[in-house]
Structure 1
Amino acid sequence: MRHRELEPEGEAPTLRTPDPQPSLHGRTTEVSLLGDFLARVGAGDGGALLLSGEAGVGKSALLEAAAGRAQGLGMRVVRAAGAEFEVEVSFATLNQLLGPFIGLMPQLDPADWEALGAAIQIGGSHTGDPTQVSTATLALLRKAAEHQALLLVVDDLPWMDKASARVLAFVARRLAGHSVGFVGAARTGEAGLFDDVDLPRLTVAPLPSAPAQALLDQNFPELTEPLRRRILDDARGYPLALLELPTALVNLGHVEAAKAPVVLPVTDRIKALFAARVRSLPAETNDLLLLAALDGTGDLRVLTDATSDQSAPGEAASDPLDALGPAEVVNLIYVDPITGRLEFRHPLTRAAVVAMATDAERRRAHKVLASRLADDPDRRAWQMSAAALGPDESVAAELEHVAHRAAVRGDPVGAVAAYVRAADLTPERSRKLRRLALAAYFGANVTGDLGMAAPLLDEAALEADPDAALTITLAAAAQLLNQNGDLDTTYRLLVNAVEMRRGPLHAENEVLVETLHTLLLICYFGGRPELWAPLDRAIARLEPGPPPDLRLLRAALGDPARLAVDVLDHLDTAIALLHGKQDAAHIRRVGIAAVFTDRVTGCLPALRRVVEDGRSGGAVTASIDALFLLATHYYFTGAWDETERDAGEGLALCDDLGFQMLAWPGHYLRGLVAAARGDEDAVRVMTARMAAWGFPRRVGCIQHYIAHLNCQAALARGEFDAAFRHASLVSPPGTLASHTPLAMWLVLDLTEAAARSGRTREASAHVDAATQAGIGRISTRLDLIVRGATAIASAAARPTQDTDDAFETALAAPGTERYPFEVARIHLAYGEHLRRTRRASAAGVHLELAVDLFDRLGAAPWAERAAREGRAVGKATPRLRTGVSGADTAGALTPQQRQVAELAAAGLTNKQIGERLFLSPRTVATHLYELFPKLGITSRAALRDALAANDDATPPAPDVQP
């Protein structure tokens, strides 16, 4: 038996395919092959093409596409389909196909007319020769195609009656040279008489991953990510499953149940595909199939154990798996020769087998399986829960243990599903509410589902059981914080819930510890030192002491300037152990502790695992934090495009899930990049949004974000007085504000702004505060910042040889090259210092390095600042990617006069120009007095046009490579 296979050679992109059926995702190659076939038919070289594939793989959709394409080409299309109830009716399918051509039959030879007329029961009496009927059919079709090409489309070939199948098989082999095409479809292995016909075949395979996702998303865009992943996994690329399974899910009580180890429900349409084959099997075969479907592992030992004790006393034991033979014969199952496991040939067979069983049969099968799973408590609990008729505390308690184990091993979605099912089976109100609250908390804080917590808030006040009340409060607080940003209300709820508990607090109480973690984040977002006291009191009451994650976060996030040094060894150990961790919540917490101690680098592999888990529908909330932590790492290491990318992905998730509070760190990171790159419009819009949302809610952290962004934007413009005012809102000069981690990040900003705005005393005081706090011991980057600030403050106060040494020491420290933005700023400050002390050649070296680093970062205003300084010492600067022009001096202006002219043209006052160029206002006025005649003007108002005209008249300076 030979078939000429037309196998698709690969998937081409579907976006620009001229496909008349745009819903046929991933079928570009198949549609193209069909198009080529139809083109040949239209050109008079007819033939046949058989589509084969499993049920639900999309054969009918391709037939529909072929029919539509043929009609578009001007062909006449006639369709038919085999039907189970007509399989014994001779010539039933042939009647469907030939009906439109009855009017042409009188044009046939009399013998053909007689034979065909009798076959399709419109006259004639000669019925003895099947070959005559086949010949007459071929003649009639050729006659019908004389003036218009013809396409016959036949679905479900195996259900065609045998008489029609013989005729059409005869016809299909003899269409060459005529404008008649035949396209039929059959399930793999079920082509009947056509299976022995040597015709071209196109094998239709399941959809690859990307088109399958596109098909599902197009038709069911509102699916939650866990359900989406479950459907994609179960459908295995079969379009029918992708379109039918979501429809069946509307009957589930909880969408979380879709992640439980049960078979997804199916529609009547899916059941109908398999009904005949399943119902034809012996009862014992169906029993084993049901056990296999509900077990889901394919482990033959489970089936053997489940049926081994069913032999009658004294009866010789037989192989219990022999009963599976009939199911193998009809291609429902097979045993994988490599794994030795039972597999269902079609992804929907398993679901159909379960759907076709009665409730009693399913419960009995679940009990049998549960009795054989004593060594697998998780699967046993799920099987018992499926067998339960109503509330059952013993089963609910087992499922709660399942949820706990799932959370520990890093499967929060599984934990939510187990908690929800446990609550469904819980008869007692307090326990039921507590388990629902745990599901809601994991949903809000881990999987990104905020919809479960809201109904629980009113229950907390009515609940007498303290553990249940605390759990409900925690779940409700997670929603209030993440969605509404109601920080003060959430804070009061949690503080009251903790302080109402009398006596010592036990660290093994996981709900209590989760409550303290949530309270810690609220204190951080609040940005007010007074918020921390209740948390510290609660931590002090924990026995035998706080868990490691809580202790690390309290020190590294709460007040790192004063506490982080004491936990660095423990933090480094925790980071080193992340390689073996799967718990997204733990990875997230260690990563947050690492961010203000500049240790995110060591967390990168684990954070990327969390991100991938979130992308596949796992710990989505944790993946948002992980994306922002990665974006922070990229910001400090100069990979700003990656900062934009990861922060953008995290913000998109926040927007999809309704997380408002969680989104602001992502906006802040993108704002930092925008400020440094000179996108002032973006900064202005960002800070306005932050203020409108954060100020009414008293979210101090957001106020600090705004201050930092405004400070960075002002520094980039060279407006040092404004920068100083903004930086001082985060931490007053001369101190590092308590419980304000961002104060450490602004040490260099505040010092430079103070020094450049004439506040040398404040600059020195701030350096002293940072030095005394010892924040340089925390990380290489913070050490670089403190050393750079020390040098800048020294240069502003009373420059000495020690000032040069301070700059050199800062730039020479090992590891500082990982932080290009800070290094570039220190090079710029050093170059400015050297220029003021009249060492132009040395200044040029550092200014050139600063220009190059800023340019690579895309920090246009900073590169422009450095380039102007370079021109002031006669240093030609390269043409930059950031758009800063080279050295093209107007007329006979000196480099410093050119700088003064540009700044004055931009609208700066003499005092502001002096602050930028380290000149007195009187010197600035002198420069203006001297340069006005050179440009032929008499006022500042004419400066811009005069400089532009002079630029046009002056040949551009040659490019100078750095």
Structure 2
Amino acid sequence: MRRDPEEPARSRPEQVTGRFGGLVADRVTGRDDLLARARGQLSRGGSVLLHGPAGIGKSTVLRTLAAEYAGTARTVLRCAATESESHLPFLTLVDLLGLVVDEVSGQLPAPQRAALEAALTGRGDSSLHHDGLALRLAVLSVLRALAARGPVLLVADDLQWLDAASAELLGFAARRLGGMPVRMLCAARTGTEPQGQSYDRYLRASLPETLTLRVPPLSRTGISELLTRRGYTGLPRSTVRDIHRTSGGNPLFALELGRALAESPTPPRPGEPLPVPTSLRALVLSRLGMLSTEARRTLLVASAGARPTLQLLHAAGRNDAEAETARAARLGLLATDRETSGGQEGAIRFAHPLISAALYAQASPQERRAAHAALSTAASDPIERARHLALATPGTDQQVADRLSEAAALARDRGAPSVAAQLGLLAARHTPPDAVQEADERRLRAAEDALTSGEQDLAREVAREVLDRATDPEIRVRAWTVVIDTAGHAMAGIDAVFPQVLADAGDDPRLLALVRYQLAWRALLVEGAMDKGRAEAARAARLAAQAADRRTELMALAFQAQMETLMGHPGAPATLERALSEPQDPAVACDHNGAGAARFRWQIMSDRLTEARTTITGLLREVRRRGMAESEVHFLRGLAETELRSGHCGRALELAHESLRLARDTGIGEGAAAMFASLAEAAGGDAERALALAGEAVRRAEEDGDLMYQSRALAALGHAHLVAGDDTAAAQALRRVRELEHRLGVSDPARGRWHGDLAEALARTGGLAEAQDVIDATRVHAARLGRESVLAVMDRAEALVVAAHGEAEAAALLLAAAADRLGRLGYGLEEARAALELARLRAVAPDTVAARSAYDETARLLRRCKARPWLRRLEALEGVSSAATSPAAPSPTLVGPAVTGRQPRPGLAGSAPPALDTLAATERQVAALVLEGATNREIAARLFISVKTVEATLTRVYRKLGIRSRVDIVRLAAGQRTG
């Protein structure tokens, strides 16, 4: 809407010595964090063990890492064991060493060489019992000889199938390779260790440098990307959601389900289970034959239930449920009691969601109906009883349809619109053919529920189905409304439907009000005509009031109030008051386009941050209770904006990414979510990520033809360039924002707050006259509307222009006043930015005391905000500040904030020793934390800088003080305190 891994079958790989020639790693989806941790370990010379269930993508990650790090090794040894060959002794050893042993065998003592040759060739009576010590020492000697020539990388896949003899030999060698340049990169499948052997017995326990990493399931977004990359495109998001749930995030399972869907001539209808291919059924149900017929029926009833318990199974007539489920748990089909989560007594959970799906898919239609019939009387929840009754009843049945409609209404009231949509579709399916209009109404209500829950594809599909058969004007206009809403910001793509909607509405004021409300959005998003959108919304409100349609009237008034607020229209407060007047519609009151959202926007633009936080928090809580996915995306972003304005950059970053994840999961507002995530990254994260997200937001807005969000996305892009230090690119992007907003009619500078960034970028790139023009024009509107924070930011921007004209003291006064004003208003980051400009100004002045004081105050403010990118910009002043620092200048307190868990060393904390006065501000703070015993990593975390920056700072400290180590800092300080 809108508006505001895989693990394919393998053959034994070729053995590779030296560098991999032409090896290309598989593209990996959704494994960035896992790869980062593994790369860090390998870069430090350590070993990595990947583990997880079959199909989770271990081999893909293994191949990727092996391809990346093979170039750093002189010798690469590879093996991939198989279950069918795990009984053959020394086979893994043959794979690893068979092609390289001749290169170093001459260095082995004769007994070791003979024992190893017998093991590798199979000649003689070689065994661990017969050649025990000689064979063990031979393997160790070979690895040491290879390592003496250069780094060795050992890559082993399917470690659980290593033959016992090879595993014992490798374990012996691994325990004795300490200090040698040998890294191991291994993967093992969990749950398949033969004869009780632990897959990591010979690696993790014997090689302390090994990092054990579990390969986790993919997220829904990762599964979606994987399916698309493999050619399974065009799947509805609801289907992708089902694939993700059924596969449990397992890439192999997800791809098999995607293939089954692609090959199926009749895709499942909404609410029906996914087709499970025979290959997956055989894989997950291999142990089903070990259960009795009655036990299999019990498991089928459990698979048909939404939340199966032992009590439910008993009520459904499965009298021996305890013994049957216990047997299934021992076979690995069900989770054991200690693995069951959720705290529900007697709860039954399948070991993997695919087992439940495969059981259900394998059953005949008659067996399924029997299971649902039993559950229709056993279930205690009326929604569950109605659903099972429908699935147990073939054909149409008016009573069943009525019960399903009642259950849908109950689910809606409980805040489960997705469940309501599924029940509504079942109700329509069971409605007799002579009740056509009733069936259409049920389908349409299901589409509206799907829209509320964020299932856009399903909502659009059902609405189109209704339009294909419905003749009633009201049903048709409502169905068109669903189609328009699902277009989101890309309304230009459905422009042709508006004449049809107007024709269906006729002269009915109630229907015309619905259409005019949609035309208001069209005017804004397609034409970029804010004034026209305001006029259409006012017209819709009048028509709705005439027709006594309070819901549409409230939505139209809220839209009108939003437009008037952005336009700086004097009637905005009065319109907002009308939108908030009684009677209210509860669903409209918390809608992201409703009056509550309009009030929040007005509050945050009017510098009422505390009130805005209260409003948006209440709205977010209510939409979560109601299951309103689109509104949740918007309100998460709104709360993130409030935190960002308040200078809580870390919290804003968390909320912005939560909104972005939800937007990508549902396909709702992805561009807007990326736009704000960019702003949050630029404030508290990483400037490069901010640039990438802003670029994505601009592309999406341009593709959608959405001029309103295009201006906001460009503003985010310009801001990201500014934070990254590219003032020219920032000015270029922000000039486009200025032009766009002039065309759109946006006059309130509190809407995008880009004006200060543009003026500052222009001032730094020599465009002083243009910068002053931006400042003057912005001040006019900000003063008229009472936007105090914007006026303070304009003072900060003008200080740069004044300083460029050589009036340093006047600029300093402007900056100090701006910082004070922004601090009083609660704009923590903007206050810190004003302090940063003052520190920049003072850094080149002869007054070193003022320079040091300005620098320290800026660092304090930025750390309080957790504004990491801005702290990195502050570090750039270090060299200038250091050059301006005089040994004779008095120094502020050396000791910085304490590191958690460490106490200052006795006699060392307190004021700075005189010899440390020559250090710049950051250097003194780092030295202070060294005196407290903090590690480099702890110092970096406390000061919000990188470990590399800490190391570089310490290097400068050593050079300035004429010392060589951290210990010398302590000695120097201690000596001066006692001397």
TM-score range, shorter chain: 0.5 to 0.7
Query: Is structure 2 residue 581 aligned with structure 1 residue 568?
Result: no
Which of 815, 818, 829 in structure 2 is aligned with 1:853? Answer: 818
1:487-566, aligned counterparts within 5 Å? 494=501, 497-499=504-506, 518=518, 521=521, 526-527=532-533, 529=535, 532-533=538-539, 535-542=541-548, 549-550=554-555, 553=558, 556=561, 565=574
Q: Closer, same or farther in 2 for the Cα pair 1:599/1:198, shift >3 Å? A: closer
Verify the 8 A CA contact 1:607 1:630 in the aligned structure 2. yes
Q: Closer, same or farther in 2 for the Cα pair 1:659/1:878, shift >3 Å? A: closer
Q: Closer, same or farther in 2 for the Cα pair 1:410/1:556, shift >3 Å? A: farther
Which of 683, 704, 708 in structure 1 is aligned with 2:745? Answer: 704
Q: Closer, same or farther in 2 for the Cα pair 1:271/1:410, shift >3 Å? A: same
Verify the 8 A CA contact 1:257 1:421 in the aligned structure 2. no
- Distance in 1 (CA, whole Å) between partners of 2:191 and 2:220 is 21
Q: Closer, same or farther in 2 for the Cα pair 1:530/1:276, shift >3 Å? A: closer
Question: Which segments of 5 or more consecutive residues in structure 1 lack a partner in the other structure?
Answer: 1-17, 41-48, 311-318, 506-510, 692-701, 719-747, 754-780, 787-815, 830-843, 859-876, 889-962
| CA drift at 1:383 | 3.6
Indicate the SS of the match to 1:345.
coil
Verify the 8 A CA contact 1:824 1:850 in the aligned structure 2. no
Report the counterpart of residue 367 of structure 1 in structure 2. Answer: 373
| CA drift at 1:81 | 0.8
| CA drift at 1:326 | 1.4
Q: Closer, same or farther in 2 for the Cα pair 1:713/1:155, shift >3 Å? A: closer
Report the counterpart of residue 300 of structure 1 in structure 2. Answer: 310
1:376-525, aligned counterparts within 5 Å? 376-387=381-392, 389=394, 398-399=403-404, 404=409, 410-414=415-419, 416-418=421-423, 428=433, 430=437, 433-438=440-445, 447=454, 449=456, 453=460, 460=467, 463-478=470-485, 482-485=489-492, 494=501, 497-499=504-506, 518=518, 521=521
Verify the 8 A CA contact 1:415 1:439 in the aligned structure 2. yes
Q: Closer, same or farther in 2 for the Cα pair 1:282/1:376, shift >3 Å? A: same
Which of 756, 781, 790 in structure 2 is aligned with 1:821? Answer: 790
1:643-680 CA distances to partner (integer Å, 9 max, x unpaired)?
A: 99978249967965998476615626966998999977
| CA drift at 1:334 | 1.2
| CA drift at 1:589 | 0.8
Report the counterpart of residue 675 of structure 2 in structure 1. Answer: 648
1:353-405 CA distances to partner (integer Å, 9 max, x unpaired)?
A: 434444443333233223322x4233334444555655666555555555555
Report the counterpart of residue 335 of structure 1 in structure 2. Answer: 337
- Distance in 2 (CA, whole Å) between partners of 1:28 and 1:558 is 47
In the superposition, the TM-score normalised over structure 1's length comes to 0.53
1:106-505, aligned counterparts within 5 Å? 131=129, 165=164, 167=165, 171=169, 175=173, 185-188=188-191, 190-192=193-195, 194=197, 199-201=202-204, 206-207=214-215, 217=225, 220=228, 238=250, 240-241=252-253, 244=256, 246-247=258-259, 250=262, 266-308=276-318, 319-332=320-333, 333-336=335-338, 338-340=343-345, 341-373=347-379, 375-387=380-392, 389=394, 398-399=403-404, 404=409, 410-414=415-419, 416-418=421-423, 428=433, 430=437, 433-438=440-445, 447=454, 449=456, 453=460, 460=467, 463-478=470-485, 482-485=489-492, 494=501, 497-499=504-506
Partner AA of 2:321 in structure 1: P
Partner AA of 1:568 in structure 2: E
Q: Closer, same or farther in 2 for the Cα pair 1:411/1:681, shift >3 Å? A: farther
Count of aligned pairs: 695
Verify the 8 A CA contact 2:561 2:573 in the aligned structure 1. yes
Verify the 8 A CA contact 2:537 2:560 in the aligned structure 1. no
Report the counterpart of residue 591 of structure 2 in structure 1. Answer: 586
Partner AA of 1:325 in structure 2: A
Q: Closer, same or farther in 2 for the Cα pair 1:285/1:514, shift >3 Å? A: farther
Q: Closer, same or farther in 2 for the Cα pair 1:562/1:62, shift >3 Å? A: closer
Q: Closer, same or farther in 2 for the Cα pair 1:324/1:27, shift >3 Å? A: same
1:799-818, aligned counterparts within 5 Å? none
Q: Closer, same or farther in 2 for the Cα pair 1:410/1:492, shift >3 Å? A: farther
Q: Closer, same or farther in 2 for the Cα pair 1:298/1:885, shift >3 Å? A: same
Indicate the SS of the match to 1:447.
coil
- Distance in 1 (CA, whole Å) between partners of 2:154 and 2:752 is 74
| CA drift at 1:302 | 1.6
Verify the 8 A CA contact 1:370 1:384 in the aligned structure 2. yes
Partner AA of 1:447 in structure 2: G
Q: Closer, same or farther in 2 for the Cα pair 1:369/1:180, shift >3 Å? A: same
Verify the 8 A CA contact 2:273 2:357 in the aligned structure 1. yes
1:262-283 CA distances to partner (integer Å, 9 max, x unpaired)?
A: 7655555543432322332222
Verify the 8 A CA contact 1:274 1:349 in the aligned structure 2. yes
Partner AA of 1:322 in structure 2: A
- Distance in 2 (CA, whole Å) between partners of 1:689 and 1:501 is 37
Q: Closer, same or farther in 2 for the Cα pair 1:455/1:22, shift >3 Å? A: closer
- Distance in 1 (CA, whole Å) between partners of 2:62 and 2:718 is 53
| CA drift at 1:20 | 6.5
- Distance in 2 (CA, whole Å) between partners of 1:285 and 1:420 is 33
1:270-306 CA distances to partner (integer Å, 9 max, x unpaired)?
A: 4343232233222233222232233242433222222
Q: Closer, same or farther in 2 for the Cα pair 1:486/1:444, shift >3 Å? A: farther
| CA drift at 1:591 | 3.3
- Distance in 2 (CA, whole Å) between partners of 1:358 and 1:421 is 20
| CA drift at 1:416 | 5.0
Indicate the SS of the match to 2:594.
helix
Indicate the SS of the match to 1:705.
coil
Indicate the SS of the match to 1:188.
coil
- Distance in 2 (CA, whole Å) between partners of 1:468 and 1:366 is 33
Report the counterpart of residue 664 of structure 1 in structure 2. Answer: 708
Q: Closer, same or farther in 2 for the Cα pair 1:289/1:59, shift >3 Å? A: farther
- Distance in 1 (CA, whole Å) between partners of 2:817 and 2:572 is 37
Q: Closer, same or farther in 2 for the Cα pair 1:881/1:422, shift >3 Å? A: farther
Verify the 8 A CA contact 1:611 1:627 in the aligned structure 2. yes
Partner AA of 1:853 in structure 2: A
1:836-847, aligned counterparts within 5 Å? none
| CA drift at 1:881 | 6.6
Q: Closer, same or farther in 2 for the Cα pair 1:121/1:685, shift >3 Å? A: closer
Q: Closer, same or farther in 2 for the Cα pair 1:847/1:430, shift >3 Å? A: farther
- Distance in 1 (CA, whole Å) between partners of 2:672 and 2:321 is 57
- Distance in 1 (CA, whole Å) between partners of 2:241 and 2:302 is 23
Verify the 8 A CA contact 1:278 1:286 in the aligned structure 2. yes
Q: Closer, same or farther in 2 for the Cα pair 1:273/1:497, shift >3 Å? A: same
Report the counterpart of residue 916 of structure 2 in structure 1. Answer: none
Q: CA RMSD in A?
A: 7.0
- Distance in 1 (CA, whole Å) between partners of 2:306 and 2:357 is 10
- Distance in 2 (CA, whole Å) between partners of 1:656 and 1:828 is 31
